[in-house]
Amino acid sequence: MRILKGIAASAGIGSGKAFLYVHEKPIVPRSGIHPSEAEAESARFSKARESVVRELATLDGPLLSTDQRKILETHQLMLEDPMVLDAVHHAIHVEHKCAEWAVETTMTSLITTIEQSQDQMFKERSADIYDIGWRIIRTLMGKLRPKISGLHEQIVLVADTLLPSEALSLDPEYVKAIALNGGGRTSHVAILARALQIPTVVGLGNITKKIQDGEHIIVDGNHGEVAIRPTSASAHRMQQQYKLWVAHEKELREVAQMDAITTDGHSVTLKANVETVEELESVLANGAQGIGLYRSEFLFLKPGGASEEEQFVAYRAVLEKMGKTKAVTIRTIDVGGDKVIPGMDAFGEENPILGWRAVRFCLSRKDIFKTQLKALLRSSVYGKLNIMFPMISGLEELNDVLEIFEEVKEECWKQGIPFDEDIEVGTMIEVPSAALCSDLLAPKVDFFSIGTNDLIQYTIAVDRGNEKIAYLYQPFHPGVLRLISTVINNAHEAKIPVGMCGEMAGDPLFSVLLLGLGLDEFSMSPQSLLEIKSIIRSVSIEDAQRLARKVMDMDSYKKSNTYVKEWMHERFGDFTTA
């Protein structure tokens, strides 16, 4: 027996015979063409593209879930994107490349741009471009791609990768589990696996080289483990773990529509982080009290960004879905640095993490910023909108941003465009300088939201995408905890609420500590809401404050980490300290 560790991407346990599925890319001809052949090559490309459009259309149907249909629509939109099509035709007509080479060049350029990002959710969208590009290239070359649809026996799919369009064709009646060499929890494949309720583990390295076709395999999508040729004892252990998890999930569902109130009556607000309207069903089902972070930059994923009207439609859809009583906090475009957007030139710097990004980008590209603010104001009459500015480093930047916001409001007044004049505005605290002068920022805004992902990396000087120093990325570092405490205290002195939308807010291990430090609002992925709510409802604010005082007196992250893990384990078991 052999146990491999990966990333748990879709819950559950599945077992059966391994079905080995490895992609082999055809060798793309990199041949030049004579200018007189350009029209014919363009026509070949257009014909292949139309063939792929028809092929994708066959995947659509009434049984597709919202997530599945959204991913299919994303691929269909990519095939219609004029900037992508123009890039291919430019490579054919100006660079005199054959159609296959032109598609490969365009695809590689887009993927390279996206993969410069350190935002994992954004980075994993490159799989969609890869998928569409290779579909067109295979069609041009007349190479039939391998198929996994039409299976007639139950299998466990073991693959090097699984393209989103391939995942759309999976039948959960026959595919009992999935194990992949690569991938991440936020990839489209992982989203589809969860929609299909197929247990999935990704990021397994080279599992395709460690297993034979037909060998027995167990995939544990709860703990991110895969057992190859398992013993009966190992199989029994995994099944028992699965039963415990199912029972735990059933218990959590019972608190979905309950308030997040401690045993001694202290109330906090639980909200969700989202990027698309399709996620809102899960948000509402899990009892979120609003949206604490809507990542607007994902509207700009496609080349050319998003127009005012496109943004307005997207913002309105989220606000209408959440209703007038559940506030939606939309973060203004946070590009540059680790979020490279095609066509905006917000990259190419030697040190982009400390460079032209977020609010700095917006202040230098006021045309893009004002367009977004106008779209936000237009949408505000359809719900309860809050606006949040990212990466503010000091009072000067905040004043500049607020001045532009007032200018856009003035323009809307003059043009007779209605908007909510009581919109609350806030700033993210994700730069140490902002945390240290949060007492100066607080009087200018209606709320704070702590972005711990960046705050941690800037405070400890650790690139969170660098595997060599990943061990130094420690939320329990005394410097990080002291900054968080400072921000909370300064916000409360100014009588404004302070929330957190970074990963710490949705991590059960930190929930009681943050509660004890005085955090008013936790915003997290929809999947984390029930666990955090259950924990908060199981403790008293006095116990949480005692825990916080104890941890704040410690002088190292190792001591804090060990103490909190033991404290949580005693009260909540393995589900919160895994």
d(CA 490, CA 518): 11
Q: If you classify domain 2-24+149-251 with CATH, what class do you get?
A: alpha beta
Q: What is the pLDDT of residue 578?
A: 42
List the structure tokens of 245.
């998890």
Instruction: Using alpha carbons, list the distances in angstroms from residue 99 to 89, 107, 133, 184, 551.
Output: 8, 12, 12, 32, 61
Q: Is the pLDDT of residue 219 over 70?
A: yes
137 CB neighbour count, 10 Å cutoff = 23
Whether residue 139 has pLDDT greater than 60: yes
What would the pLDDT profile of 536-554 be if each residue is shown by its tens digit?
999 999 999 999 999 999 9
Report the pLDDT value the prediction gives residue 320, as an integer from 0 to 100.
Answer: 94
pTM for this entry? 0.69
- Residue 353 is predicted with a pLDDT of 60
Length of the chain: 578
Cβ count within 10 A of residue 36 = 7
205 — pLDDT class (breaks 50, 70, 90) = confident
Lowest mean pLDDT among 153-162, 386-395, 397-406: 153-162
Of 192, 272, 321, 257, the residue nearest 525 (C-alpha) = 272
> Which of the following CATH numbers is that of domain 35-141: 3.30.565.10, 3.40.640.10, 3.30.450.20, 1.10.274.10?
1.10.274.10
Q: Give the side-chain half-sphere CA count within 13 A for 194.
A: 18
Highest mean pLDDT among 93-102, 115-124, 226-235: 93-102
**Is residue 380 over pLDDT 90?**
yes
pLDDT, tens digit (0-9, with 9 covering 90-100), for 26-80 = 778 888 889 899 999 999 999 988 988 887 777 666 555 555 666 667 677 777 7
Do 161 and 23 meet the contact criterion of CB atoms below 8 Å apart? Answer: yes
Contacts of residue 65, Cβ cutoff 8 Å, sequence gap at least 6: 195, 196
How high is the pLDDT of residue 123? 63
Rounded Cα distance between 310 and 315, Å, is 9
Q: How many other CB atoms are there within 10 angstroms of residue 450's CB atom? A: 29
Domain boundary assignment for the chain: 2-24+149-251, 35-141, 254-573
List beta partners, residue 216.
Answer: 17
Q: What angle do CA 177, 178, 184 make, to 5 degrees?
A: 135
The pLDDT of residue 21 is 83
Determine if residue 495 is left, alpha or beta; phi over 0 gives left, psi from -120 to 50 gives alpha, anything else beta.
left
| pLDDT band with cut points at 50, 70 and 90 for residue 461 | confident
CB neighbours (10 Å) of residue 98? Answer: 21
How far, CA to CA in Å, does 458 sit from each of 429, 431, 454, 477? 11, 7, 6, 12
User: Taking a C-beta distance cutoff of 8 angstroms, is the pair 488, 429 a contact?
Assistant: no
518 and 496 Cβ atoms separated by less than 8 Å: no
pLDDT at 347: 46
Return the structure tokens found at 157: 């799919």
Residue 164 pLDDT class (50, 70, 90 cuts): low
Q: Which CATH number fits domain 254-573: 3.20.20.60, 3.40.50.300, 3.90.740.10, 3.40.640.10?
A: 3.20.20.60
Give the pLDDT score at 232. 81
Catalytic residue among 75, 188, 412, 477, which?
A: 188
Q: What pLDDT score was predicted for residue 120?
A: 60
Is 501 marked active-site? Answer: yes
Please determine, for residue 134, whether its predicted confidence score (pLDDT) is greater than 50.
yes
**Count of CB atoms within 10 A of residue 162's CB?**
28
93 is annotated as an active-site residue: no
Give dist(CA 373, CA 74) in Å, integer: 25
CA-CA-CA-CA dihedral for 158, 159, 164, 168, to nearest 10:
-40
Please provide the average confidence, as pLDDT, over all residues in the chain. 84
